[in-house]
Structure 1
């Protein structure tokens, strides 16, 4: 699986918080699932375009 998140951006968004190294993998998996669900919903609605409402 390709990395879907940018570690530096996550770290910046969390500002002064420490981030465990395995957090990035877990977040990447969550994003992957979210994208798969959105693609599935678009397909169920006979669309090839994933839209915000698919989230």
Structure 2
């Protein structure tokens, strides 16, 4: 699986915090799960377009 998050963007967003190296992998897994769920909701509603309401 490719990385879904941009490490530099996360680091910039959390500018006042240190970020553990394994945090990025865990965050990437969470994002993948969120996208999978949104995709399933769109399919369940007979759509091929994932929309904000699917989150």
TM range (shorter): over 0.9
Q: After TM superposition, which residue ranges in structure 1, 4 or more long, deviate above 4 angstroms?
A: none
RMSD over aligned Cα, in angstroms?
Answer: 0.3
Instruction: Number of aligned residue pairs: give it.
Output: 55
Query: Gaps spanning 5+ residues in structure 2: where?
Result: none
Query: Gaps spanning 5+ residues in structure 1: where?
Result: none
Deviation at 1:16, TM superposition (A): 1.3
Query: Is the counterpart of residue 53 in structure 1 residue 53 in structure 2?
Result: yes
Compute the TM-score of the two structures, normalised by the length of structure 1: 0.99
Compute the TM-score of the two structures, normalised by the length of structure 2: 0.99
